[in-house]
Amino acid sequence: MKKVAVWGKFDSLHKGHLEFLRHARELGNELYVVIIPDEKVKENSGRLPIKTKDARKRKLLELDFITDVYVDCLSEGLQSILKLRPDVFVFGHDQKTRWEEQLQNYLSSQGLHPEYVHLGIYDNGKHNRDTKS
């Protein structure tokens, strides 16, 4: 069973989010989504998300190809990821930031070494893909 994890805000799901999630799911048998808590969204962007973490979680759980959704963040220890032990961690085209490096360093320090995949900008039915371990 190959577990795939993604993380993000996922505020007001739109076509780009849906395609990203569908393509991430194709990389394994189970897809787990980690959404960032409201207060961390505000801390990172200067404003609260439009929808609460509970509303965002409910909306994601309506998608039949998502196995489960967690609310978690790096500063809280990413307990959901440590328990899941995903085989693949997928990033969107707009997630190449210092958070990615922090995530990789943290997971490595915890003995986790998933494959890291970047899905590029969605174009004509597919995402460009960049993989690194």
Q: What's 110's DSSP letter?
A: T
**pTM across the whole model:** 0.87
In tens, the pLDDT along 76-133 reads 889 999 999 999 999 987 776 667 888 899 999 999 999 999 887 655 544 444 444 4
pLDDT score for 102 = 86
Instruction: Write out the DSSP string of 72-99.
Output: --GGGT-HHHHHH--SEEEE-TT--SHH
Give the E-state strand segments of the chain in sequence order: 3-8, 30-35, 68-71, 88-91, 115-123, 126-132
pLDDT score for 120 = 79
pLDDT score for 37 = 95
pLDDT score for 94 = 74
Q: Distances from the Cα of 114 to the Cαs of 41, 60, 72, 121, in angstroms? A: 25, 23, 18, 22
Q: Which is more confidently placed, 97 or 16?
A: 16
pLDDT score for 125 = 47
Phi, psi angle pair for 49, to nearest 5°: -65, 160
* Triad 108, 112, 114: Cα angle to 5°: 105
In tens, the pLDDT along 30-58 reads 999 999 999 999 998 899 999 999 999 99
**pLDDT above 90 for 27:** yes
Q: Distances from the Cα of 19 to the Cαs of 15, 23, 120, in angstroms? A: 6, 6, 11
